[in-house]
Amino acid sequence: MGDAEAFAREFRPVPPARPGVCRICHAAGPEASGAGSSGPRVTGAGACAGCRRTIGGLRGHTEHVVPITLTARNTRLYDVVTQRREPPGGRRGRLDLLAATVARFHQRHAACLERAAGGPFTLVATVPSTRAERPIEAFDPMAAVVARVAALAGRHRPLLLERVDSEPGAAAGDAFRVRGGGLEGARTLLVDDLFVSGARVQHAASALLAAGAAAVVALVVARLVEPAAADPCGAAIWREAGRRPFDFVRCCVCDAAPWEIT
């Protein structure tokens, strides 16, 4: 992985869906359901309040978000993923780092991703950068990342564009539109760098599904955790992840090891 090895030491494992871990984003506590004498209780691996808010107004969404690692705002990895700091090699070094991470994860867990999609992927898409604090890039950085991953590059298509509200057919809240056709029945791997609220990923998934995709699975390099926030589940997940060594052998889909989220 080259320079990625140094950043891999900052990676933290992502817990599998289970009581206390959101079934979609894997890094927040599900909404409580049911009630007992001691108050609300979680009766299974549900969706957290943030994911429920994000997908609530969409025409479609993906239930399958697979982060490679957790990160927090005060880490070097977060700074590099969000382009606040350049790694050795500058922008090219950042793209190489992300590509090496995606390639190594995909090599070990292609079967996990395909199982979630219901079969091998026929398309690979990337989420265009829409971060307000950055100037509009002359290219899609995640497309450049996927182009460096041999196992994915041949199936990648630049499908997603930012939606303009005045465009015909634009539904309220749509963030992206799909250019071209040929998505009918497609199993699509959607690749992004950072999952915060999930809005970018879920809006992109909604657009792909509305255009005819049969399944969308989102592979994101990092899932942001706010360990100092009010959500005690997020803080507990971050603490437990810090106690566990990260490796590319397990992922949040196939990890069978027990997690102590308290």
Summarised one tens digit per residue, pLDDT across range 88-127 is 667 778 899 999 999 999 999 999 999 999 999 999 999 9
Q: Residue 65: name the closest of 116, 127, 121, 128 by CA.
A: 116
Which long-range contacts (C-beta less than 8 Å, at least 24 apart) are formed by 135-143? Answer: 141/94, 141/95, 141/193, 142/98, 142/191, 142/192, 142/193
Residue 160 φ/ψ, nearest 5 degrees: -100, 135
pLDDT of residue 256: 84
pLDDT of 234 over the 90 cut: no
**Chain mean pLDDT for the chain:** 84
CATH numbers and ranges of domains, the chain: 55-231 (3.40.50)
> How much of the chain exceeds pLDDT 90, in percent?
56
C-alpha distances (whole Å) from 202 to each of 195, 245, 249 are 10, 30, 27
Cα angle, residue 65 at apex, residues 204 and 46 outer, rounded to 5°:
115
Q: What gap in Å lies between CA 101 and CA 89, rounded to an integer?
A: 16
pLDDT of residue 24: 95
pLDDT of residue 74: 86
pLDDT of 22 over the 70 cut: yes
Q: What gap in Å lies between CA 135 and CA 184, rounded to an integer?
A: 34
Q: Residues 13-21: what's their mean pLDDT?
A: 90
> How much of the chain exceeds pLDDT 70, in percent?
81
58 vs 233, more confident: 58
pLDDT of residue 166: 43
Average the pLDDT over each of 28-42, 112-126, 248-262 and give the range with the smallest value.
28-42
pLDDT of 15 over the 80 cut: yes
pLDDT of 40 over the 80 cut: no
Average the pLDDT over each of 48-52, 61-65, 232-236 and give the range with the smallest value.
232-236
**Stated pTM of the model:** 0.87
- 27-65 burial string, b = 16+ CB within 10 Å, else e? bbbbeeeeeeeeeeebeebbbbebbeebbeebeebbbbb
Q: Which residues is 245 bridged to in the sheet?
A: none
Q: How confident is the model at residue 211 (pLDDT cuts 50, 70, 90)?
A: very high
